[in-house]
Structure 1
Amino acid sequence: MKTILLIAHLIAIATGTGMSIANYINIRIAAGEKGERREALAFLRRVLARIADVVILAIWITGIGLWLNLPPAEEPNVWFLVKLAFVVLLTLCHGLARMTAGRMMRTGDQSLFARMELFVSGVWMSALFAIILAVLAFET
């Protein structure tokens, strides 16, 4: 069971990483666009963000499942605790990126692109570190 959970967990984190990198590229492209192209890219970001909500939920559920499958006498190792910090950072950056995107949509303030780019970068960097640390934390 632990191996299946680990596979699902790593797939979820890898999916989140790929999506956040795609979102980062989208933001970089959209910064120079106007009109319908910019709107289409904004629509794509919204779709990716909705899917990312589910992916982050999968990361948390599979991670909690892995933690619950630790032997009763075994406490989480340091790799697990550091990984948990990166997953919290990933979740925080995702939430802040979503809030910034929502604010951009409501106000039309395009100057928030740089802030959103920073938060999306935080998501994919955190996810990359979380993948590495998950492998170290859950050695089979």
Structure 2
Amino acid sequence: MKTILLIAHLIAIATGTGMSIANYINIRIASGETGDRRAALAFLRRILARIGDIVILAIWITGIGLWLNLPPQDGPNSWFIVKMGFVVLLTLCHGLARMTAGKMMRSGDQSLYPRMELLVSGVWISALAAIILAVLAFET
């Protein structure tokens, strides 16, 4: 069971990493666009964000499942604790990016693109670190 959970966990984190890199590229392209092209890229970001919500939920569920399957005498190791910090950072950056995107959509404030870029970068860097740390934390 632990191996299946680990596979699902790593796939979820890898999916989140790929999606956040795609979102980062989208933001970089959209910052120089206007009109319909910018609107189409914003629509794509909204779709990626909705899927991202599900992916982050999958990361948390599989991660908690892995934690619950740790042997009681071992408990979480230091790699796991550091990994959890990066998962919390990933979740925080994702949530703040979603809030910033909502603010951009409501107000039309295009000056928030640099903040979005920073937050999305935080998501994919945190996810990348979490993948590496998950392998170290859950080695069999």
TM bracket, shorter-chain basis: over 0.9
Alignment correspondent of 1:79: 79
Alignment correspondent of 1:35: 35
Q: 1: distance between equivalents of 2:104 and 2:115?
A: 11
Alignment correspondent of 2:44: 44
Alignment correspondent of 1:119: 119
Alignment correspondent of 1:2: 2
| Structure 2 residue 137 is matched with structure 1 residue 137 | yes
Query: Deviations 1:70-89 (Å, cap 9, x if unpaired)?
Result: 01111100000000000000
Task: Quote the RMSD (CA, aligned, Å).
Answer: 0.3
SS of the residue 1:93 aligns to: helix
How far is 1:5 from its partner?
A: 0.2
Query: Deviations 1:15-47 (Å, cap 9, x if unpaired)?
Result: 000000000000000000000000000000000
- What pairs with 1:68-107 in structure 2 (closer than 5 Å)? 68-107=68-107
Gaps of 5+ in 2: none
Gaps of 5+ in 1: none
Q: Calculate the TM-score normalised by the size of structure 2.
A: 1.00
Between the aligned residues of both structures, percent identity stands at: 85
Q: Calculate the TM-score normalised by the size of structure 1.
A: 1.00
Which segment is superposed worse, 68-77 or 35-44?
A: 68-77
